[in-house]
Amino acid sequence: MENRVGFRFIPTDEEIVDYYLRLKNLGGDTSHVDKAISTVDICSFEPWELPSKSRRESRDQIWYFFGRKENKYNRGERQSRITKSGFWKKTGVTTNIIRKRGNREKIGEKRVLVFHSNSEWVMHEYVSTFLSPTQTTYTVCKVIFKGDPRDLPSSSSSAPGGGGGEVEHNHSQFTHMNNSGEFEVGLHLFQSGHRECDNDFISILPFIELKNSNIRDTLSY
């Protein structure tokens, strides 16, 4: 299928934690999630360097990464978030992520961080809470640039690196939780003239579930 303007990679908070982050932390064959989200040492780079490390090019100025948890001290859960030119500072309250089906248990947490000294860069950090501490090696970091796209380095619009990930221009396969609590492959479809939702993603108009294996192969990561 040819690329079409309006298709985006937009996992929900629940899908990020209950699918991508869970599979990454459990280990084994992580090739499926690794094709969607690259693994990066977030604080080894400045925020404006991260877009070029993403598996996918983003027109919404949102990029996703797996990051390893690195405690600032030998004991405790305080994370080291210092880069060469600044640091990521937590702001606001931590949001609980609840599984919407079944017993509606808490499965993760989302923390919002702002980069100092450039507050136009924001990061949402997702942490699993339903796995044991020994299984929570990775987090998911959603990096957002809220400034003028013309202020982004030109390298961010070139082919991304991050382990040779493919560039995704206009559409994306994604996972969707069905009524049975199982994840299915699907596609989010958008139209122009959208409104913003929760400062992160544009509103979903029609939703198309693609269950045909040939179509899934065409839209593979």
pLDDT in tens, 104-161: 999 999 999 999 977 899 999 999 998 877 777 899 999 999 999 888 886 544 333 3
pLDDT at position 125 is 97
Which of residues 170 and 107 earns the better pLDDT score? 107
**Per-residue tokens: 88:** 């990521």
HSE value, Cβ hemisphere, 13 Å, CA-based, for 152: 23
In a domain, 1, yes or no: no
| Residue 108 dihedral angles phi and psi, to the nearest 5° | -175, 180
Measured CA distances, 84 to 49, 79, 89, 109, 146 (Å):
12, 16, 14, 27, 21
In a domain, 124, yes or no: yes
In a domain, 49, yes or no: yes
Which of residues 118 and 56 earns the better pLDDT score? 56
Looking at residue 215, what DSSP letter applies?
Answer: H
Categorize the per-residue pLDDT at 6 as very low, low, confident or very high, splitting at 50, 70 and 90. confident
In a domain, 74, yes or no: yes
Q: Mean pLDDT over residues 38-64, rounded?
A: 93
State the total domains in the chain.
Answer: 1
pLDDT at position 208 is 32
Predicted TM-score of the model (pTM): 0.66
pLDDT at position 2 is 44
pLDDT tens digits along 178-189: 555 544 444 333
In a domain, 148, yes or no: yes
In a domain, 188, yes or no: yes
pLDDT at 221 over 70: no
Task: Report how far residue 25's alpha carbon sits from residue 128's, in angstroms, rounded to the nearest whole number.
Answer: 9
pLDDT at position 77 is 52
What is the domain extent for residue 195? Answer: 13-218
In a domain, 132, yes or no: yes
pLDDT at 166 over 60: no
In a domain, 3, yes or no: no
**Could you tell me if 38 and 163 are in contact, meaning their C-beta atoms sit under 8 angstroms apart?**
yes
